[in-house]
Amino acid sequence: MTSWISYFNPHRFAWGFATTFPVAQVIAIPTIIGAIFTKDTNRRIVTRETLLLIFFWVWLSITLLNAYFEPLFADHLADGTARLIEISKIMILTFVSILLITSKQKLKYLLMVTSFSFGLLAIKGTVFGILTGGNFRVWGPPNSFIADNNDFGLALVMTIPMLFFLAKDEVNRRLRLVFRVTALCGICAVLLTYSRGALLGLAVVLGALALRSRYKMLSAFTLVIAAFLVISFAPPAWMARMGQFFGGGKLDESAQERITSWKFAWNMTKHYPITGAGLECFTPNLFATYSERDPKSWLAGHASSGPHSIYFQVMAEQGFVGLGVFLLLLASCVISARRLRRRTARDPRLAWIGTYSNIVELGILGYIVSGAFLGRAYFDLYFQLVGILIILKCLYAKELRANSIAKAPALPDSQLELQDALH
């Protein structure tokens, strides 16, 4: 329910008080209270990713606390505190999910709710694109974390592997068809967002899906034909947007804005290499101090342009220590997902774990690529994928323990009587 509210944002399509009513809190608070008392939880949740996620969360608090002692950072303390509270809510719900999702069926429900939340928005965007000839951008729900076309495109790129592998694992033919049609609409909606960062991530994710397919050559050929059709029949507005990166042999305004933000992040981190400047530090005051803008350029009229990259965002806000933890968590998730996939490849009973590991690996791969050009370091969906990986590790360990108990030889009656006496 909290995933549905957070991702689909149904209240944003309503009117009056419903648009701002705290629906997620009404659902989350009793769920958290119930999680404290229930016995049906994952007990052994301490993994490498769990520790890295907790350390990253703690480091966010440390760097913001440090910012309170630096007068230069006074401008963004209120926004940074609000952002930390928002991230903490995401983290708490992530750990609640890790505790409560104790079976494949529950995990499948979470993945279905998540993928269809974004998938329905993708279908809506695709229909809008068809009716308007693709001449307008597709945006996410207003006043949500995916309202921006770039953020919406990133979310769809991370969701497409979910739809693809859920279809692969699904037995019901009709539901499998629904997954596939929704995934196709997701691809179309990414193109209709006009987001170049999302387009790059889409290309990488589709290429990885082609490599995981049984028919690699056919999949690669299909992708080439699809790319040719997009270029041939794309509306002028879309082609103009994608071809604007270089205008007259020079970087366009959007690209210049990104480079300026990245230089600012690097310059400021050199002065605060350990802790950075804390959350929400891309402010006009700090830009005026550490940016190397050309006053005569177009950027002179923009006080702050945002991070435009998850890596530069974390580096500026959390220092090199926070960036190191962030990168370690990304790498650890990809490595662990690959290991789970390889360990379960030859066991039909555990094949579903390998299939779901692909969802995590390719979803994070899309985040790594598209996130290089988008300032979404604390993305809800990314933290959920980390949580799903931890859940998969817990369920894998549980399956191994169950199999080892099932394969254990039966003890003679005399040894059983001796054990009972000892107990």
* pTM of this prediction exceeds 0.85: yes
pLDDT band at 305 (very low <50, low <70, confident <90, very high): low
Q: Using the 8-state DSSP alphabet, how is residue 276 labeled?
A: T
Q: Which residues pair with 247 in a beta bridge?
A: 250
- 3-class SS of residue 292: coil
* Segment 385-393 mean pLDDT: 95
- Tell me whether residue 217 is exposed, middle or buried, using C-beta atoms within 10 angstroms of its C-beta: 0 to 12, 13 to 18, 19 or more: exposed
Provide the pLDDT for residue 300. 43
Residue 381 has pLDDT above 80, yes or no: yes
Residue 423 has pLDDT above 80, yes or no: no
* Segment 311-335 mean pLDDT: 95
Provide the pLDDT for residue 407. 60
Residue 249 has pLDDT above 80, yes or no: no
Provide the pLDDT for residue 21. 84
Q: What are phi and psi of 252, to 5 degrees?
A: -75, 175
Provide the pLDDT for residue 339. 93
Q: Which of 87, 174, 164, 62 is nearest to 119 (CA)?
A: 164
Residue 302 has pLDDT above 70, yes or no: no
Cβ pair 388, 359 in contact under 8 A:
yes
* Per-residue pLDDT tens digits for 347-367: 888 889 999 999 999 999 999
Provide the pLDDT for residue 250. 58
Higher pLDDT, 219 or 94: 94
* Segment 140-156 mean pLDDT: 88
Long-range (24+ apart) CB contacts under 8 A made by 53-62 are: 53/91, 53/94, 53/329, 53/383, 53/386, 53/390, 55/325, 56/322, 56/325, 56/326, 56/329, 57/87, 57/88, 57/91, 59/318, 59/321, 59/322, 59/325, 60/84, 60/87, 60/279, 60/318, 60/322, 62/275
Provide the pLDDT for residue 64. 94
Angle of helix 173-192 relative to helix 104-131, nearest 10 degrees, comes to 50
Residue 304 has pLDDT above 60, yes or no: no
Provide the pLDDT for residue 225. 82
CA atoms within 13 A on the CB side of 393: 25
Provide the pLDDT for residue 141. 85
* Segment 296-312 mean pLDDT: 63
* Per-residue pLDDT tens digits for 177-229: 999 999 999 999 999 998 888 899 999 999 998 888 877 787 777 778 878 77
Cβ pair 101, 391 in contact under 8 A:
yes
Residue 410 has pLDDT above 80, yes or no: no
**What's the mean pLDDT when you consider all of the chain?**
85
* Segment 99-109 mean pLDDT: 93
pLDDT band at 301 (very low <50, low <70, confident <90, very high): very low
Provide the pLDDT for residue 54. 96
Looking up tokens 């949580």, which residue turns up? 387
Provide the pLDDT for residue 318. 94
Provide the pLDDT for residue 400. 85
* Segment 159-173 mean pLDDT: 92
Indicate the range of 27-36, 254-263, 320-329, 331-340 predicted with least confidence: 254-263
Provide the pLDDT for residue 329. 96
* Segment 76-81 mean pLDDT: 92
* Segment 12-31 mean pLDDT: 85
pLDDT band at 156 (very low <50, low <70, confident <90, very high): very high
